[in-house]
Amino acid sequence: MADVQQIIDKNKETLIIPDGITVIGKDERIIVFNEAASRITCFSEEDAIGNKFEFLFTKNSDDKKFILESLQKNLAFSNLSINITDSKGNLKNVLASITPIKRDENVLSVVFVFRDTKEMLSLAEEIQQKTLELIDQKNKLDAIFNSNIEGTFTIDNDWNVTSFNKSAEKITGFKKSDAIGKKCWEIFNSSICRNGCHMEQTMLKGKTMLGNELEIIHRSGKKVPIRVNSNILMNNKNEKIGAIETFLDISELKNLSAHLNDFFKYENIVGRNKEIKQIISVLESVSQTDTTVLITGESGTGKELAARAIHLNSSRKTGPFIAVNCSAFVESLIESELFGHEKGAFTGAIKTKIGKFELAQGGTLFLDEIGDLSIAVQTKLLRVLETREFERVGGNKTIKMDARIIAATNKNLINEIAAGRFREDLFYRINVINIHLPPLRERMDDLPLIINHFIELFNKKFNKNIKHFSSSAFDILMEYNWPGNIRELENVIEHCFVICTGDVIQVECLPKRLREQKFKSAIPSKSNSKKSFKDAEKELIISVLEKNNHNRTKAAKELNINPSTLWRKMKKLGIDF
């Protein structure tokens, strides 16, 4: 530790006062002799002051003449390379300057300033070494900074961006040269910028913010969801000099999360019905290709769920799934919604907008209710599907399309073609594979299975333990025509869960429209009466068990219930295998 302190002290002297300073009076005696002069010559201040300066030079040295000439002739010298003698008699080459101090043109004394050339060389080498080390350290930090998967930037106390790494460039679309010096809100353009954002909390209150999620606007105009962390920046004096933020693009996570529940909801249309099984087989095959698909069926049969299932089982599953309801936009807006528009393309187009086709790049574009598009938009859509290229409204730049198209409609497009409301050539372009989802009323044999699925689902959601519908309530469900199909059935069962206070759903828990429906006036005979829910459920379980050679695990999987649930139902219904 002592050696280290000596080095530190020596460096302090070298860096703070590198020059020896000696003041020599008219009588040639030393008046001032500073610490650096002592260090270089090894003579102490006491040894020097009051003595003639000649002891700093050898007897035969010509170098002392410069001091004498300065004293006697009022001459100044600079950048002299001369030799002085230290206390041990060793010669030391120094770089010196000599300046006379005058009053009324009379020289009173001279200032002799000298610097050890070896010390200067050593100091220069040390500075060069330190500089190289700092450059190496900076290069390492820059490599770490730019290799970070998270976007990272810093701002100063005036909110100006001071650094911006490669990942930040990729996520935002702005180059480092574009970002440096700009206000951070000019780059990120989030709806919460300057409105209570995390950076305000950090800058104004000094709070570390972790895991905030928000949307920023990419330079191209598209929205990018990010997760951010921010913290204050301090200098070595513990003063605030700005803040740092790291952020991660979570588009893929958001996309998968948004689809995950819908992927499992797709099981709502799974049943033992022969037609449904065939549809599932086709969906599995189609998902392995990039073929255009047309899904038809009444509202509520699960057309979008089928489309999402295709997407999530395809090679595009990490890309976006963009759904567009073609009936939800007026004629004047649907083209802009699909293809986007350039700034100034029409009145109200105050900035460039990214269309759904562009947002779906690398993923799937789902055109729901495609039968509601006008003939004019159908014509443009056909061209895009044929050329795989499109332009924004008001633009002239051609954009390549890289999205799978899945269309859906609840209309009979053959009838629409005959009526002149749908282009025949577009129909054949989108109808490469047709998947028709049957209405619930045509697959009532699946009703017990679907009801069981929703009972398990809502038991978890509402933290209840409802077991089944009463026989009377089940009869009403069997009698109902289900115009809203699976969606309506799901809503009815959720309604029942909200109302029901016991473990069996009774008739009074059903919505009023179901309770008040008209039953057939003729009372069927006992042998022809509809099975109660218990009978239907028992028959279904026995059938599935027999099909799977009494393997409860396989049977439970086909019934879409847990094996433990199946075991409890078997005991309750008296099924013994």
| pLDDT tens per residue across span 295-334 | 999 998 889 888 988 888 888 888 889 999 988 887 778 8
- pLDDT at residue 556, rounded to an integer: 81
Which of 433, 321, 339, 324 has the alpha carbon at shortest distance from 381?
Answer: 339
- pLDDT at residue 136, rounded to an integer: 78
Domain extent, residue 78, equals 17-117
Inside any domain, residue 521 = yes
Mean pLDDT of 463-477: 90
- Whether residue 363 has pLDDT greater than 60: yes
Q: Are residues 221 and 370 in the same domain?
A: no
Looking at 101, 117, 133, which one is the last position of a domain?
Answer: 117
Q: Are residues 343 and 465 in the same domain?
A: no
Q: Are residues 300 and 377 in the same domain?
A: yes
Q: Are residues 369 and 501 in the same domain?
A: no
Inside any domain, residue 180 = yes
Mean pLDDT of 374-393: 91
- pLDDT at residue 144, rounded to an integer: 65
- pLDDT at residue 475, rounded to an integer: 87
- Whether residue 531 has pLDDT greater than 70: no
- Rounded to 5°, the CA angle 348-354-360 comes to 150
- Whether residue 108 has pLDDT greater than 50: yes
Separation between Cα atoms, residue 215 and residue 534, nearest integer Å: 51
Q: Are residues 273 and 420 in the same domain?
A: yes
Q: Are residues 288 and 207 in the same domain?
A: no
Give the chain's domain count.
Answer: 4
pLDDT band per the 50, 70, 90 thresholds, residue 257: low
Q: Are residues 280 and 381 in the same domain?
A: yes
Which CATH number covers residue 270? 3.40.50.300
- Whether residue 138 has pLDDT greater than 80: no
Q: Are residues 271 and 355 in the same domain?
A: yes
How far is the CA of 83 from the CAs of 53, 95, 105, 170, 545, in angstroms? Answer: 14, 9, 30, 62, 109
Q: Are residues 177 and 71 in the same domain?
A: no
The single residue listed with the structure tokens 């930040």 is 168
The residue with greater pLDDT, 61 or 36, is 36
The H or E element that residue 274 is part of is helix 274-286
Separation between Cα atoms, residue 320 and residue 96, nearest integer Å: 75
- pLDDT at residue 17, rounded to an integer: 64
| Segment 22-51, tens digit of pLDDT | 999 999 999 999 999 999 999 999 999 999
Q: How many Cβ atoms from other residues are within 10 Å of residue 261's Cβ?
A: 10
- pLDDT at residue 559, rounded to an integer: 76
- Whether residue 197 has pLDDT greater than 80: yes
- DSSP string across 411-429: S-HHHHHHTTSS-HHHHHH
Contact 108, 11 (CB under 8 A): no
- Whether residue 262 has pLDDT greater than 70: no
- pLDDT at residue 145, rounded to an integer: 67
Looking at 411, 438, 465, which one is the last position of a domain?
Answer: 438
Question: CA torsion angle for 263, 264, 268, 273 (degrees, to 10)?
Answer: 90
- Whether residue 523 has pLDDT greater than 60: no
Answering whether pTM is above 0.95, one says no
Inside any domain, residue 245 = yes
Q: Are residues 427 and 453 in the same domain?
A: no
Q: Are residues 71 and 57 in the same domain?
A: yes
**DSSP label of 464:** -
The residue with greater pLDDT, 265 or 301, is 301
Report residue 254 CA to chain centroid gap. 9
The residue with greater pLDDT, 378 or 263, is 378
Beta bridge partners of 90: none
Looking at 200, 229, 249, which one is the last position of a domain?
Answer: 249
Which of 213-227, 433-447, 521-535 has the lowest average pLDDT? Answer: 521-535
Q: Are residues 84 and 211 in the same domain?
A: no
User: Which stretches of 148-183 are DSSP H helices?
Assistant: 166-172, 176-179
- pLDDT at residue 408, rounded to an integer: 95
Which of 131-145, 266-280, 456-470, 484-498 has the lowest average pLDDT? Answer: 266-280
The residue with greater pLDDT, 391 or 1, is 391
Q: Where are the beta strands (DSSP E) in 479-533?
A: 504-505
Inside any domain, residue 317 = yes
If 0-12 CB within 10 Å is exposed, 13-18 middle and 19+ buried, where does residue 228 land? buried
Which CATH number covers residue 80? 3.30.450.20
The residue with greater pLDDT, 74 or 272, is 74
pLDDT band per the 50, 70, 90 thresholds, residue 256: low
- Whether residue 477 has pLDDT greater than 70: yes
- Whether residue 270 has pLDDT greater than 70: no
- pLDDT at residue 532, rounded to an integer: 58
| Segment 395-431, tens digit of pLDDT | 888 899 999 999 999 999 999 999 999 999 999 999 9
Question: CA torsion angle for 180, 184, 185, 186 (degrees, to 10)?
Answer: 0
Q: Where are the beta strands (DSSP E) in 14-150?
A: 20-25, 30-33, 77-85, 91-103, 106-116
- pLDDT at residue 264, rounded to an integer: 40
Phi, psi of 279 (to 5 degrees): -60, -45
Separation between Cα atoms, residue 173 and residue 169, nearest integer Å: 5
- Whether residue 393 has pLDDT greater than 90: no
Inside any domain, residue 123 = no
Residues ≥6 apart with Cβ < 8 Å to 490:
268, 454
